[in-house]
Structure 1
């Protein structure tokens, strides 16, 4: 029986979502070990991979259950007791061909930062950038909208058949001293969101011109490869259908 689960996690103690040979401190490994302890020997598949230190409020995964696990509320309670910094928000039965990654149509990321140093209680969850011009930030973000080849906006190391992605929407909002950047797209490359955030913030502080940003987006000249700090990034929502 295939199930779909929506999970959230504090990524600050983990080396990313995807399993790695060099460490057990990944989200996938922690969840699969919890499943094995409940006699569920199924790998999990996520809607997308998040980097080390990156969080999620709406990651979606799928895995397969043995027949004797038909009480999903009990399963959720047991998993949440066993896991640290990872929470199962909802588990539901899914079609046998449901695929958390390939079935996803849209992915939404949220980036949170302040313009003064976060407190010790926030520093694992909120990033910091110097003062900037919000109007320049909004202009920079809008440049990313549409279908583009993001070959100059990702880290290498992940095999993908194409670096073309379509960004449907970008947003910037400020609330009570917290700054939020949103990207919604059909998919993202490795570290693409963090690289776009930092490039947009360079524009917002006058350190990168709109012309330079467009040149990099057109794969003409690579002006920056810096990544925004991981602490402020959240995989917020996955949309299917």
Structure 2
């Protein structure tokens, strides 16, 4: 199971939110590239970045910060937040990002996402509240069930789906593995669990859950609940 360390960017700084609320942002680093290097040195292979400003603005607001991270490490980087057109996809890939996460547009324009998945390395982000898809930086909750959206991408060629339970994100209350597994079953695609990791036990349980190929780890590390050495030296 792949472990994805997470960096959420707001105003060029590394922050974490609670339940996706922007006014809950807590700053953990003014130099996100230093965090990324720390993750790389500990043994991380992947870095998960969300441009929180971009998620609301629909633009690559923190591109310069992301480029610093790319240049500071050899990590594979997946990034989401405001990626809604092919021009932005190309821009990120040209900057050294490995693959793109398409979230809001995955609900609003599935044909575009499927077309992009034929040409580029694409991950679909499905964020849900009470089982329904949330978009636009989680500011809007749709009437579409997350599992129904997952089914749309069953044979689309996307590399993975990131399943986030918003109610657990940043709350250190444990992963919603039932939700994540339902997304994996509906899509038949490797699914990455996101939101709520609080302990090594969460990682262990996730690694034994069908369909889960990875876990995103954020606040549990930043709040000292999990040490980097324990994340990458255990055989999850």
Would you say same fold, with TM above 0.5? no
Between 1 and 2, higher relative CO (CA 8 Å, sep ≥ 6) is seen in: 1
- Tell which structure's C-alpha radius of gyration is larger: 1
**TM bucket by the smaller chain?**
under 0.3
Q: TM-score, normalised by structure 2?
A: 0.28
